[in-house]
Amino acid sequence: MENPLLSPWTAPFAAPPLAALQPEHFPPAYDAALAAHEAEIAAIASDPAPASFANIVTALEKSGALLTRVELVFSNLASANTNAALQAIELEMAPRLARHWNAVYLDAALFARLDAVYRTRATANLRAEEMRVLERYHLDFVRAGATLDGDSRARFAAIGETLATLATQFSQNVLADEQATALPLQEHQLAGLSEAQRAAAAATAQERGLDTAYAVTLSRSEVEEFLQSAEDRPAREALFRAFSARGKDNAPVIAQMVALRQEKAQLLGYETFAAFKLDDSMAGTTASARALLEEVWEPARARALAERDALQALVAEEGANFRLAPWDWRHYAEKLRARLYDFDESVLRPYFALDRIIEAAFFTAGKLFGVSFRPRGDIPVYHPDVRVWEVLRAGKTIGLFYGDYFARPSKQGGAWMSSLRDQHQLEGEVLPIILNNCNFTKAEPFLLSFDDARTLFHEFGHALHGLLSQVVFPRLSGTNVARDFVELPSQLYEHWLEQPEILSRFAVHHQTGEAMPRALLDKLLAARNFNQGFATVEFLASAFIDMEFHCGGDIRDADTVQARALARIAMPEEIAPRHAARHFGHIFGGDGYAAGYYAYLWAEVLDADGFRAFQETSDVFDPAVAARLYEYVYSSGGTRDFAEAYRAFRGRDPRIAALLEGRGLMNEKTAA
């Protein structure tokens, strides 16, 4: 039987044959890919010619092409359209892949040759991007244990394999809970829900085959909308508790992961895992990251406590005598917003049709960066929900964009950007293939909340970071940047959704085609900073939990660590962390955001300050500012030091005032 993964890809733009792939194709493809890469690495390490940039760095960049092809396809399917067979392969391959990469990074002969090139780099007449990729490769090897020897080297490798397995187990445990749980609802429990929400709940019950007319899944989008709308307090509590209980079996997984991360960091000479992770970031140190969190925490908590008191007063005004709880906050906040701003967010939904918001994201990219999007129905996909567009700039195709917008049991929760191929120019122009995954409710008409629309813009900002990349080396392509810089392009892009020029053009009624009334638009914009104390506190709480796990101390019990972190900051009891430890996939489903969840806030300092560059021109699409943004942020990947890249775009270092003002957290103290 021909294996599509090992055969030439003949679809337009050499897109992967996703529709033809079956789980049984992956094990032999991995076997072939790993063997090929092992042979390539052995040849590079044993090359008798003197070590040079070409026969070490360039050779490393060219190696592993088949493995990259297989791994990108598999990882996307495993997260967006998984099944029992794929999950079994995922568990099997996690330690095997970790073992393979350990062998690469811990190859003494290979590192000796790379180190020789690195030590003579000053006299090697390298171009700027060549120097950058050499420095990044050398640092990659050092951080992967290349300078260790003997027992330390063996232990480091063993830790890597175990961590890979544990991360996979963590994610699969969360997904299993999400798949297994849907809250059944009776007619009386639907009070307060819009017609669109009722239709979605009916569709969920039918899709899940439940013996009830209505149900709500544990998708964050559905949960938050239900908590906001539903009048039935016991139903809100039941859904909140089920949502919070995801990953119930993950406590021992977390304890083992954190202990191994700490040991790994200490093998490399760092006191804590946080110190190790932040050493290769814009923040640089744990102290710098914590300082930012603490600077924002004080005004955010004060604002949240004032919001709490206002909500509690509203509870009392309605004649209830209960104390506000986390499952009440969104519900009463929405009632208070309606009173203060004469604004009910549910009336927005008819103006936020999914297709129109996709068009808005595309239009914004066109205005800023001159790109356009052409639907392609001839590109194979892995699920009927997936749509594909060809992306063009100046009449030239620059990549493919896949949009997978709807929730389903086979997909992980949340929203993310990923790739099936990264841009580079190492051997001719290689076009990127970029994906956006969201988890919107699939119930016609496909209407979004304002938060859903913001999520779509956020992930599309990441997508543009991959699509607009213009670099030579794959190691520096697109989103291969520091964790506290990678969120800049995505968070910055969210700002355009709120611009009157975008809303007046694309926020049109899905039935009548009429633009959102100016009065409603004005209310939407006026209410932007409402409930920002809550939003900031729930995020910061998760960032502090992340730091608590990775800055040393007793981490044997996940719930105790989380409680300790929340006690340190005097967390308001009425607010729950956005991500609790047992389902905190950002930090335990892999180590990408481990000791790095603060990065969203760090990037918000950059994005809030960066958007002001447009506002200062009185044109949010100012061509000169957009050109600098394209050159130094969206297209440059990891080719520059990230602080220098921001300064080149903005003309100076970022200032926190824009973030505090944007969230409505400025006071006399913070303004000073």
Q: Which residues pair with 389 in a beta bridge?
A: 375, 401
- Residues 321-345 have a mean pLDDT of 93
Separation CA 547–CA 522 (nearest Å): 39
Residue owning tokens 């962390």: 577
Which DSSP state fits 45?
H
Q: Long-range contacts: 502-507, Cβ < 8 Å, 24+?
A: 502/360, 502/363, 502/364, 505/360, 505/363, 506/356, 506/357, 506/359, 506/360, 506/363, 507/348, 507/351, 507/352, 507/356, 507/360
367 plus 497 within the same structural domain: yes
**Structure confidence by residue, pLDDT tens digits, 170-211:** 999 999 999 888 999 999 999 999 888 899 899 889 888 888
| In contact, 70 and 30? CB cutoff 8 Å | yes
| In contact, 488 and 600? CB cutoff 8 Å | no
pLDDT band at 444 (very low <50, low <70, confident <90, very high): confident
The answer to whether residue 254 is domain-embedded is no
* Cβ neighbour number for residue 412 with a 10 Å cutoff: 20
Assess whether pLDDT exceeds 90 at residue 164: yes
Which ranges constitute the DSSP H helices of 551-671? 558-568, 585-588, 599-615, 623-629, 642-650, 657-662, 668-671
pLDDT band at 345 (very low <50, low <70, confident <90, very high): confident
403 plus 499 within the same structural domain: yes
pLDDT band at 68 (very low <50, low <70, confident <90, very high): very high
The answer to whether residue 558 is domain-embedded is no
Determine the pLDDT at residue 525: 85
The answer to whether residue 127 is domain-embedded is yes
Determine the pLDDT at residue 662: 87
Separation CA 153–CA 561 (nearest Å): 30
Angle, alpha carbons 522-525-526 (nearest 5°): 80
**Structure confidence by residue, pLDDT tens digits, 374-429:** 999 999 999 999 999 999 999 999 999 999 999 999 999 899 999 999 999 999 99
Q: With pLDDT > 90 as the criterion, what percentage of the chain qualifies?
A: 89
Separation CA 136–CA 129 (nearest Å): 10
The answer to whether residue 368 is domain-embedded is yes
Number of domains in the chain: 3
Q: What is the pTM of this model?
A: 0.92
Determine the pLDDT at residue 666: 74
72 plus 218 within the same structural domain: no
Cα 64 to Cα 30, 117, 342, 474, 637, distances in angstroms: 11, 21, 58, 11, 21
Told to judge if 459 belongs to the known catalytic residues of this protein, a careful annotator would answer yes
127 plus 186 within the same structural domain: no
CATH number at residue 66: 1.20.1050.40
**Which residue in 654, 632, 631 sits closest to 641, CA to CA?**
632
427 plus 486 within the same structural domain: yes
- Chosen domain end from 244, 262, 280: 244
Residue owning tokens 């050109």: 627
Separation CA 555–CA 273 (nearest Å): 13
- Chosen domain end from 487, 509, 531: 509
- Chosen domain end from 216, 244, 272: 244
The answer to whether residue 231 is domain-embedded is yes
b/e code 166-180 from CB counts within 10 Å (16+ = b): bbbbbbbbbbebbbe
| In contact, 339 and 311? CB cutoff 8 Å | no
- Residues 300-310 have a mean pLDDT of 97
485 plus 429 within the same structural domain: yes
Range of the domain at 234: 181-244
Query: Is the N-terminal amide bond of 375 cis, ω within 30° of 0?
Result: no
Assess whether pLDDT exceeds 50 at residue 669: no
Determine the pLDDT at residue 667: 61
- Residues 518-529 have a mean pLDDT of 87
94 plus 188 within the same structural domain: no
| In contact, 185 and 235? CB cutoff 8 Å | yes
410 plus 491 within the same structural domain: yes
The answer to whether residue 100 is domain-embedded is yes
Determine the pLDDT at residue 12: 97
200 plus 59 within the same structural domain: no
- Residues 469-494 have a mean pLDDT of 97
- Residues 423-446 have a mean pLDDT of 94
Q: With pLDDT > 70 as the criterion, what percentage of the chain qualifies?
A: 99
| In contact, 443 and 498? CB cutoff 8 Å | no
14 vs 343, which has greater pLDDT? 14
The answer to whether residue 470 is domain-embedded is yes
The answer to whether residue 20 is domain-embedded is yes
Determine the pLDDT at residue 221: 86
HSE-up of 191 (CA within 13 Å, CB side)?
7
Mode of pairing for the β-strands spanning 214-217 and 416-421: unpaired
130 plus 193 within the same structural domain: no
Assess whether pLDDT exceeds 60 at residue 124: yes
- H or E element at residue 550: helix 532-550
CATH number at residue 455: 1.10.1370.40
Neighbouring residues of 547: CB distance < 8 A, sequence distance ≥ 6: 274, 286, 289, 290, 293, 565, 595, 598
**Structure confidence by residue, pLDDT tens digits, 548-570:** 999 998 888 999 999 999 999 99
499 plus 355 within the same structural domain: yes
368 plus 484 within the same structural domain: yes
| Mean of per-residue pLDDT scores for the chain | 95
Cα-flanking dihedrals φ and ψ of residue 237, to 5°?
Answer: -65, -45
Q: Which of 178, 225, 345, 459 is catalytic?
A: 459
